[in-house]
Amino acid sequence: MLRLSPARTARLLLGGLLALTAPLTTLAALPLPASGQPALHIQGSNTIGAKLGPALVGGLLEKEGFSNVRIEDSGLNEQRVTGQDAQGRMVNIEVAAHGSGTGFVALGQGSAALAASSRPIKDSEAASLAALGDLKSPEGEQVIAIDGLAVILHPANPLQSLSVEQLAQVFAGEVKTWEELGGRGGAIRLYARDDNSGTFDTFKELVLASHGKSLAAGAQRFESSNQLSDAVSRDPQGIGFIGLPYIRQAKPLAISAGDSQPMPPTAELVATEDYPLSRRLFFYMKPSESNLWAQALVRFAHSPSGQEIVARNGFVSQTVKAMQVEANGEMPPAYRELIDHAQRLAVNFRFDEGSAELDSKALRDVRRVVRYLKDNNKMMSQVVLVGFADPRNNDPARTELLSKLRAMAVQRELVKSGVLLRSISGLGDAMPVASNDSETGRKKNRRVEVWVY
């Protein structure tokens, strides 16, 4: 591991910012539209819109001093959140949940100020909305929560785990019986979300397309997450995929990818995004958005109070926590030593191919890590950074160097806020958490972990 000398540390500290970024200014009062018009329209993901979106809106209204906050159905997969101010005036915010793709359409048409999405915006969508500004910029793209796609079975199904490759074969209709997977029950029945769903887009990207396959024509399709989950729970031959909050009465499988061990969809493994079917949940808005309610909701979603609501609604918050890690014989000795003496933080920093640049989520995560370190008195020589890379360049020395450079990129940001690191290291392409056969998997393997003593 690389030890930092006192002189080097001092130079870094002097060159950095010694205080955490100041919190965003809170609006004194949010305006009420005339004639009872909605203050804000949110359109998009059913995964977000069914529960999380309305809950965040309700939390914002309560924070702003509104009373009698209510969430009411206003149509199929549509909800209205209302509240009353001190003068008895009503405010309402509309949340429509018809799939991530519909959110970007509504953003382009000007019928929504926020697009809720359970997948990153596609290049084609960003290009078609370029007149609104750069929706991939830190101002346009907001990660509000982490979610995982759970693969669910009937509670009585004895199967415990599947690989991503097996999932692709099952949902493509190539594996047709439970006996082919070592189970029992006869013919497999498939349950999937509809084409407008970000959940389906994510499953298609992470499972089907990465193995050159398409969803079998006979799969039953659902717009509602709850209805899909309940249908699988009633069908001993059924298998489906769903967001974590919608497991309900079904049985989730452990999933492996490439050389990784099977991982259950636990909050810790989803928070680090190591779980093979983990994903980010987003709000998108034009960078110059003038709707003060949209701005306030995004700020609230990032706040500790907003992240508490994320957790209460069954998703995984971005609040940094420490977790224990179990050792296994495939881990390098230096890593096993960390496990014996330190704890890993439930956050990972990830990078594009050949890059050591932090994205907008990573920069926010730096602030969250610093907040955790301050709150737990671990600012001075208690932090170890461990970098990893993927092996695609077939040059072990370069791979190890790049993994260390990524750890140094996180180090630079932490030092700006006054963190004195204990050490950093790069472990090259060791310990993959995903398959290196796809770009999505390689990106998961390009990561920096944070450990604290």
Q: Report strand pairing: 114-117 vs 40-44.
A: parallel
Which of residues 362 and 353 earns the better pLDDT score?
A: 362
Look at residue 218 and tell me whether its pLDDT is greater than 90. yes
Enter the pTM of the model: 0.78
Query: What pLDDT score does 443 carry?
Result: 84
> Which residue bears the tokens 């069954």?
314
Q: What is the mean pLDDT of residues 255-261?
A: 87
Q: State the Cα angle at 284 between 299 and 211, rounded to 5°.
A: 125
**H or E element, residue 242:** strand 238-243
Tell whether 327 and 426 lie within a shared domain.
yes
Q: What is the C-alpha to C-alpha distance for residues 119 and 106, in angstroms, rounded to an integer?
A: 16
Tell whether 286 and 327 lie within a shared domain.
no
pLDDT tens, position by position, 45-63: 998 998 999 999 999 999 9
Query: What pLDDT score does 394 carry?
Result: 75
pLDDT tens, position by position, 140-156: 999 999 988 999 999 99
Query: What pLDDT score does 12 carry?
Result: 39
Closest by CA to 144, choosing from 117, 169, 123, 113, is 117
Look at residue 14 and tell me whether its pLDDT is greater than 50. no
Query: What pLDDT score does 21 carry?
Result: 34
Does 427 reside within a domain?
yes
| Angle subtended by helix axes 53-63 and 304-312, to nearest 10 | 140
Query: What pLDDT score does 140 carry?
Result: 95
Look at residue 28 and tell me whether its pLDDT is greater than 50. no
Residue 241 bridge partners (DSSP): 151
Q: Calculate the average pLDDT of the chain.
A: 90
Q: What is the C-alpha to C-alpha distance for residues 110 and 129, in angstroms, rounded to an integer?
A: 11
**Contact present, 280 and 143 (Cβ < 8 Å):** yes
Query: What pLDDT score does 100 carry?
Result: 94
Q: What is the C-alpha to C-alpha distance for residues 430 and 32, in angstroms, rounded to an integer?
A: 55
Does 52 reside within a domain?
yes
Does 26 reside within a domain?
no
Query: What pLDDT score does 392 carry?
Result: 72
**Contact present, 48 and 116 (Cβ < 8 Å):** yes
Task: Work out the percent of the chain whose per-residue pLDDT is above 90.
Answer: 73
**H or E element, residue 267:** helix 267-271
Q: Report strand pairing: 78-84 vs 161-163.
A: unpaired
Task: Work out the percent of the chain whose per-residue pLDDT is above 70.
Answer: 93
Tell whether 153 and 265 lie within a shared domain.
yes
Query: What pLDDT score does 374 carry?
Result: 97
Pair of tokens at residue 181: 């997977």
Q: What is the mean pLDDT of residues 99-119?
A: 96
Tell whether 357 and 330 lie within a shared domain.
yes
Query: What pLDDT score does 327 carry?
Result: 87
Query: What pLDDT score does 241 carry?
Result: 97
Residue 150 bridge partners (DSSP): 242
Query: What pLDDT score does 210 carry?
Result: 84
Which of residues 17 and 86 earns the better pLDDT score?
A: 86
Domain count, the chain: 3
Range of the domain at 386: 2-21+320-452
Looking at 271-430, which runs of residues are DSSP E strands?
278-284, 322-323, 343-350, 380-387, 420-426
Tell whether 343 and 414 lie within a shared domain.
yes
Tell whether 159 and 254 lie within a shared domain.
yes
Query: What pLDDT score does 20 carry?
Result: 32
Pair of tokens at residue 287: 């960078």
Tell whether 191 and 261 lie within a shared domain.
yes
Look at residue 331 and tell me whether its pLDDT is greater than 50. yes
Contacts of 35 (CB under 8 A, 6+ apart): none
Does 174 reside within a domain?
yes
Does 256 reside within a domain?
yes
Q: 3-state class of 216 per DSSP?
A: coil
Q: Within 10 A of 142 (CB to CB), how many other CB atoms are there? A: 21
Query: What pLDDT score does 357 carry?
Result: 80
Does 29 reside within a domain?
no
Tell whether 263 and 304 lie within a shared domain.
no
**H or E element, residue 368:** helix 360-375
Tell whether 393 and 406 lie within a shared domain.
yes
Confidence of residue 5 (pLDDT cuts 50, 70, 90): very low
Q: What is the mean pLDDT of residues 391-407?
A: 88
Tell whether 294 and 442 lie within a shared domain.
no
**Contact present, 422 and 381 (Cβ < 8 Å):** yes
Contacts of 430 (CB under 8 A, 6+ apart): 332, 335, 388
DSSP state of 131: G
Query: What pLDDT score does 13 carry?
Result: 37
Q: What is the mean pLDDT of residues 378-399?
A: 90
Residue 181 bridge partners (DSSP): none
Which of residues 266 and 101 earns the better pLDDT score?
A: 101
> Which residue bears the tokens 């050792």?
327
Confidence of residue 205 (pLDDT cuts 50, 70, 90): confident
Q: What is the C-alpha to C-alpha distance for residues 230 and 227, in angstroms, rounded to an integer?
A: 5
Query: What pLDDT score does 436 carry?
Result: 84
Q: What are phi and psi of 332, to 5 degrees?
A: -60, 150
Does 27 reside within a domain?
no
Look at residue 176 and tell me whether its pLDDT is greater than 60. yes
Q: What is the C-alpha to C-alpha distance for residues 190 and 153, in angstroms, rounded to an integer?
A: 10
Please report, for the domain that includes residue 49, its CATH number: 3.40.190.10
Confidence of residue 196 (pLDDT cuts 50, 70, 90): confident
Tell whether 210 and 356 lie within a shared domain.
no
Tell whether 174 and 226 lie within a shared domain.
yes
Pair of tokens at residue 341: 């003496």
Burial class (CB in 10 A: 0-12, 13-18, 19+), 395: exposed
